[in-house]
Amino acid sequence: MRVQSLRIVPNLRSSVVEEKPASQLVLFTSQLGDADAALLAAPGVRPFTWGGLPRAIRDPELELMEVAEPLWLGEWVRALRYVVLLRVVRAALPRRGRVAVATYAIENLDARERLSYRSLDARPLRGAVASRLLTAAVGMSLLLLDVVVYGTSGAAENYERVFGRFLRRTRSAVLPPRVDACRVCGPEVGRDARRDPTVLFLGAPSERKGFDVLMTAWERCGAHDRGWRLVVADPDGEADPDLPPGVSIRRRLPRGTVHELLRTSAVVAMPSVRLRRWREQIGLPLVEGLAHGCRVVTTTETGLAEDLRGHPLVTFTTPGDVESLAEGLRRAMEADGGGDAWGRAGWSKRDVVDWWLVEARRPADAAVR
């Protein structure tokens, strides 16, 4: 085995392999239900084992280890064990170079809120003290990181605001995800492809995804009377909510069918709202919609909001505001194009790994924040 980069990821999903550099080993700790089973057979993708980890760490070609981001606290606590093992094993081996520790951060919810204790809600003083201690402990643990890539400007601001003093020696960059043409469907999914008068909602019809607001806005914008329909692609729902005219739910669709819907739908709606202890990080429907040339109606709650200002296919609306969402839907449905949807800077996971490696190889005194 020859690895340049080792990734220990919480979940196996298609994006893990699609952008995986050939010189990278991926160890996954769990498998999502919608992951393509063929991914398990991909070279360099393996279930995590405590035996496999030391073997990877001992490899003389290993330069970088990526772990889950710190604000995913359960995964981060586990990751700290991997980092400690890395440091101990490499220090005990002769002629082994130093391995940099990296993370890809997208958490958009305020870090202090993310690290608050729900069980202490009834005791605000004790809860505030406990949260402050936990925030300080996480901040100290960030000193183990060598390189960080933020997937959104929102995530970068979040970490800098709360943990800036702990990240002064850590090399970082904001590299928003690339939203060029879907690599599964090919370049024919561009904006000139034939589009059905369909608004697509990807995900569970939940409060945090703004589903109730969307249903009211759908009726108010009069889309059904103009021949439009709204399709909800629910990955695992059971109940049948009351739906306005023109709205249908399709459940547990295979990935191929989801891609087909994205290729043919004109608009993707992702009207996320903020709840306590949850805020939209990136929003896979947003990225997938743009990758398929769809016009996207979303809210300013996504961490990508600042990175996508002025994008020709994106309409931002006020979170939770029915009138704003109805107007956004009308604008998106009346638009007849979107300009150059993919002529914007963006970075794949392969680019992120390359950036980490370049920065990790720089002398310590050459770091630039």
Whether 19 shows a pLDDT value over 70: the answer reads no
- Provide the pLDDT for residue 249: 94
**What would the mean pLDDT of 22-51 be, rounded to a whole number?**
79
Higher pLDDT, 323 or 21: 323
Whether 159 shows a pLDDT value over 50: the answer reads yes
How many Å apart are CA 75 and CA 115, to the nearest integer? 13
Whether 324 shows a pLDDT value over 70: the answer reads yes
Whether 82 shows a pLDDT value over 90: the answer reads yes
Write the class of the CATH domain 187-334. Answer: alpha beta
Whether 327 shows a pLDDT value over 90: the answer reads yes
3-state secondary structure of 269: strand
Contact 12, 18 (CB under 8 A): no
pTM, two decimal places: 0.89
3-state secondary structure of 360: helix
**What would the mean pLDDT of 152-164 be, rounded to a whole number?**
97
- Provide the pLDDT for residue 83: 97
Structure tokens given for 349: 């996971």
pLDDT tens digits for range 218-241: 999 999 999 999 999 998 877 677
**What would the mean pLDDT of 20-48 be, rounded to a whole number?**
77
Which CATH number is 5-175+347-366 given? 3.40.50
Average pLDDT of the chain to the nearest whole number: 89
The pLDDT-based confidence of 191 (bands split at 50, 70, 90) is: low
**What would the mean pLDDT of 123-147 be, rounded to a whole number?**
95
pLDDT tens digits for range 290-316: 989 899 999 999 999 999 998 999 999
Whether 369 shows a pLDDT value over 50: the answer reads no
Q: How far is CA 75 from CA 133, 172, 352, in A?
A: 19, 21, 20
Strand order in the sheet with 64-67: 45-47, 24-28, 5-9, 64-67, 100-105, 147-150, 171-174
Secondary structure element (H or E) that encloses residue 24, with its range: strand 24-28
Higher pLDDT, 187 or 206: 206
- Provide the pLDDT for residue 188: 64
Domain ranges in the chain are 5-175+347-366, 187-334
Same fold, 5-175+347-366 and 187-334: yes
Whether 326 shows a pLDDT value over 80: the answer reads yes
- Provide the pLDDT for residue 276: 86
Secondary structure element (H or E) that encloses residue 148, with its range: strand 147-150
Higher pLDDT, 309 or 323: 323
- Pick the range with the lowest mean pLDDT from 2-16, 38-52, 205-219, 307-321: 2-16
**In this structure, which amino acid lies at residue 97?**
G
- Provide the pLDDT for residue 147: 98
Higher pLDDT, 255 or 129: 129
- Provide the pLDDT for residue 33: 62
The residue with tokens 């990508």 is: 304
- Provide the pLDDT for residue 235: 87
Contact 271, 214 (CB under 8 A): yes
- Pick the range with the lowest mean pLDDT from 21-35, 72-86, 134-148, 323-337: 21-35
Secondary structure element (H or E) that encloses residue 324, with its range: helix 322-334
The pLDDT-based confidence of 16 (bands split at 50, 70, 90) is: low
- Pick the range with the lowest mean pLDDT from 36-50, 273-287, 343-357: 36-50
Higher pLDDT, 345 or 350: 350
Radius of gyration, alpha carbons of the chain:
22
Q: How far is CA 242 from the centre of its chain?
A: 30
The pLDDT-based confidence of 368 (bands split at 50, 70, 90) is: very low
